[in-house]
Structure 1
Amino acid sequence: MKGTSFAILFAALVAILIASQSMYVVNETQRAVVLRFGEIVDADVKPGLHFKIPIVNEVKKFDARIQTMDSRPQRYLTLEKKAVIVDSYVKWRIESVAKFYQATSGDVFVANRVLSSRVDTGLRNQFGERTMHEVVSGQRDQLMTELRDKLDKVAQSELGIKIIDIRVKRIDLPPDVSESVYQRMRTEREREAREHRSKGLELAEGIRADADRQRVVIEADAQRDAEMIRGDGDAKAAAIYSKVYKQDPKFYDFYRSLQAYRDSFEGNKDLFVIQPDGEFFKYLNNSNGKKETVK
């Protein structure tokens, strides 16, 4: 009885062991190949529960999700032989499981190493066909698209992987070139500043000259108007004096003489050499009440 129970238990253990060695599960994020003595017998095992022959068959599973290969910054030359430091990355996933296993033995690091070499060669060729301006801004998207399409064909044929995207994270100038570029930029900005200042000075001179011209014109017009007003006033004054003179010639002569005395004796440093009995002092000589001698 005991021997029978032991046999049944042993048979159950063997059955469980065989079943565990015969069944395997492939997750949704995985792809697998089945090998028979190292030879591929099932090239693309889909996700789910599967069976195999223990010992004879071997299952290799691979991550089917998108992988990222972040390359180290590399130095490339543009069409003008200017050096740039390029930092890039590649997005890829397994397209043909059998080909991927045959090319890399299922090692992702091997795939990244081969892919990195292909990307480096492609970037070197693409940058060598374009100028600095084109690779920085002008044709950057076109460069990435062309490189992705070319590299995708090579990667699928050689490695069984599909290139999803290739992107350049940043483009820098080497330290030995940056200083000369910054100096050239500084010189260019200083030149532009001098041009703006010279244009400003030229504009200021024009405004100043126009203001001076307007000032001269305004002063000339004002002087002309003043002369016209002064002349008109003098004409009116002369007319008034003439009218007064006609009304009382003696009083007008006396008034004019008084104005002449006031203007002549106003300063204390003036010296006159004149005869005291002349016509100029006729009213002063008659100030004592003597009758004027009529000549």
Structure 2
Amino acid sequence: MKNFVAGAVLFLIVVVGANSVFVVSETERAVMLQFGNIVETDIPPGLHFKVPYVNSVRKFDARILTVDATPQRYLTLEQKALLVDSYAMWRIIDVERFYTATSGDESRANALLAQRVNDGLRNKFGERDLQEVVSGQRDALMNELTTELNTYVANEYGIEVIDVRVKRIDLPDDVRSSVYERMTSERQREAQQLRSRGNELAIGIEADADRQEAVLLVEAYRDSERIRGDGDAQAAAIYSGAYTQDAEFYSFTRSLNSYRDTFASKSDVMLLDPESDYFKYLRSDETQ
């Protein structure tokens, strides 16, 4: 009997001791409750003690969590409908407020945050046109929405929104064809503008090239004429110098060259006066 009582007492001590100790890890946030009321908030990581069956401990994931919002249909500024699939990353920053707002239910927190994200995206998409929400201002839109969400959810739910992102944007079937046609016409208009600009530049470049060609030709002709004139002047000076040194010999040499060129072809027939000056070096009385 004594052994039974001792065993029961030992078992009771083990059970009470096990319910008196709890551990909070580095990846958790925790609160201590007493009959459902919070008596200690944001318990730090480590080994802690509580009163068995009086106190209870609720632990929550302190890491960054992700909530996938259900794809929603939004209207842009020009009343174009879009199917948007988004997600948000968040974490707990105030354990007491988080427990009070959601009863510590992570799925409830996800639902509340997803609703806020959907409302925020609907407002942001309604302020912008299709081009801006698809590419032009998409990053700015997400940053604005994240900032606005944090001003509300931190006070209401005790959480911080790290980032909000759009995974996919689809066009509904009833507006997809009209949007594609509009995009095609805009691209064709831009292409035509680029072609016109290119043609304008090409005409300008061609005109400038023609002008440079004309200038180069004129300058080349001017330089060639100047060089030719200088050469003729130098030749005339050489001839004049040679003539002044021995005028008779110069005249005799020129006549011999003329005779050689004139009588080179035996088929030619020339009728000349033998007494003309052309034959003066061929007459015996002139050469003596």
Distance 1:114 1:182 in 2: 36
2:70: which partner in 1? 72
Cα distance, 1:192 vs structure 2: 7.1
Are residue 33 (structure 1) and residue 42 (structure 2) matched? no
Deviation at 1:130, TM superposition (A): 1.5
**Count of aligned pairs:** 205
Q: Does the alignment pair 1:16 with 2:10? A: no
In structure 2, distance between residues paired with 1:189 and 1:5: 92
| Aligned pair partner of 1:162 in 160, 169, 187 | 160
Structure 1 residues 78 and 192, CA, compared in 2 at 3 Å: closer, same or farther?
Answer: closer
Q: Write the deviation string for residues 35-78 of structure 1: whole angstroms up to 9, x where unpaired.
A: 11111001111221111111111111111111100112211112
Distance (Å, rounded) in 1 between the aligned partners of 2:192 and 2:116: 49
1:144 counterpart letter in structure 2: M
The amino acid of 1:40's aligned partner reads I
Distance in 1, Cα, partners of 2:51 & 2:269 = 150
2:120 corresponds to which letter in structure 1? G
Describe the shift of the 1:189–1:93 C-alpha distance in structure 2 as closer, same or farther (beyond 3 A).
closer
User: Which residue of the partner structure matches residue 60 of structure 2?
Assistant: 62
Over residues 167-218 of structure 1, what are the superposed CA-to-partner deviations in whole Å (9 max), with x where a residue is unaligned?
1122222221111222334455567778869x99xx9xxx9xxxxxxxxxxx
Task: Name 2:101's counterpart in structure 1.
Answer: 103
Distance 1:123 1:51, change over 3 A: same
Aligned to 1:175: 173
Q: Which runs of 5+ in 2 are unaligned?
A: 207-267, 273-288
Q: Give, in angstroms, the shift of residue 164 of structure 1.
A: 0.7
3-state DSSP of counterpart to 2:42: strand
- 1:223-243 Cα offsets, whole Å, 9 max, x none, are xxxxxxxxxxxxxxxxxxxx9
Matches for 1:1-295 after TM superposition, within 5 Å: 3-187=1-185
- Paired letter, 2:5: A
- Using the alignment, how far apart are the partners of 1:194 and 1:100 within structure 2? 58
Distance 1:244 1:164, change over 3 A: same
Question: How far did 1:131 drift?
Answer: 1.9
2: CA distance, partners of 1:64 / 1:245: 125
Using the size of structure 2 for normalisation, the TM-score is 0.64
- Whole-angstrom distance in 1 between the partners of 2:107 and 2:73: 23
Write the letter of the residue equivalent to 1:79.
L
In 2, the alpha carbon distance for the partners of 1:149 and 1:193 equals 39
Unaligned runs of 5+ residues in structure 1 are: 208-242, 248-295
Kindly tell me: are residues 8 and 81 of structure 1, through their superposed partners in 2, closer, same or farther at Cα, counting changes over 3 Å? same
Shift of 1:124: 1.0
Q: How far apart, CA to CA, are the structure 1 residues paired with 2:186 and 2:124?
A: 29
- Give the SS at the match of 1:45: coil
1 CA distance for matches of 2:60 and 2:181? 52
Q: CA RMSD in A?
A: 2.7
Q: Deviations over 1:109-163 (max 9, x none)?
A: 1111111111111111111112222222222111111110110121111111111
Change (3 A) 1:190 1:14: closer
Following superposition, the deviation at residue 6 of structure 1 comes to: 3.0
1: CA distance between counterparts of 2:83 and 2:76? 11
Q: Is the alpha carbon distance of 1:108 and 1:177 closer, same or farther for their aligned partners in structure 2, counting shifts above 3 Å? A: same
Most deviating of 143-152 and 171-180: 171-180
C-alpha separation between the residues in 2 aligned to 1:192 and 1:152? 41
